[in-house]
Amino acid sequence: GKVAIALLSGHLLYCTIWAFAATPDHPLGSFLCFLRLLLQKEMIGPVLLALAVILVGYIYKAIKPPPPKICGSPGGPPVTSPRIKLKDGRHLAYREAGVSREEAKYKMIVIHGFDSSKDLNLPISQELVEELKVYLLFFDRAGYGESDPYPKRSVKSEAYDIQELAD
């Protein structure tokens, strides 16, 4: 009984739509004429394709990450680490560890990997660092952490950055 009523009410709705669509001068009729055009058998494929493209666009917009905010720029996160200014105007952020530069017997510049920053911790005890009088200098490579980005970054430019940092 319920299925028959649902089919009957669906059929009545269908008949009502077609009745209004037959009179395009009625306010509801012009919309229903357009709806009738969209629901024609040969139009269902293109309509579904258009809806799928719109849906994919909304999904892409929802999952696309926002553009990065550069440290120290307006609206970006503040710079909290000391930075040096390179000859080309970029800044490299760094962090010092171990004994002071003046009393150090060994000085090391630590270069982080792809998924890291100057804030990495080496598995070395503080006692050993002090006993050997090691000065450690960690820095954020160009485009990482609090250092300025450098789109033309290469192995050679990284070497020049380290050379300037060491001086």
Cα 41 from Cα 110, distance rounded (Å): 67
Q: What is the pLDDT of residue 143?
A: 87
Q: Which residues on neighbouring strands pair with residue 42, listed in sequence order?
A: none
Structural domain spans, the chain? 2-63, 83-166
Per-residue pLDDT tens over the stretch 34-62: 666 666 666 677 777 888 899 999 999 88
What is the pLDDT of the chain when averaged over all its residues? 79
For residue 8, pLDDT over 80 is answered with no
| Helix (H), strand (E), coil (C) string for the chain | CHHHHHHHHHHHHHHHHHHHHCCCCCHHHHHHHHHHHHCCHHHHHHHHHHHHHHHHHHHHHHHCCCCCCCCCCCCCCCCCCCEEECCCCCEEEEEEEECCCCCCCEEEEEECCCCCCCCCCCCCCHHHHHHHCEEEEEECCCCCCCCCCCCCCCHHHHHHHHHHHHC
Q: What is the pLDDT of residue 5?
A: 42
pTM above 0.85, yes or no: no
Count how many Cα atoms sit within 13 Å of the Cα of residue 23 in the half-sphere of its side chain.
7
For residue 26, pLDDT over 60 is answered with no
CATH number of 83-166: 3.40.50.1820
Q: What is the pLDDT of residue 146?
A: 86
Per-residue pLDDT tens over the stretch 137-158: 999 999 888 888 888 889 998 9
pLDDT classification of 27: cutoffs 50, 70, 90 = low
* Identity of the highest mean pLDDT range in 8-17, 64-73, 115-124: 115-124
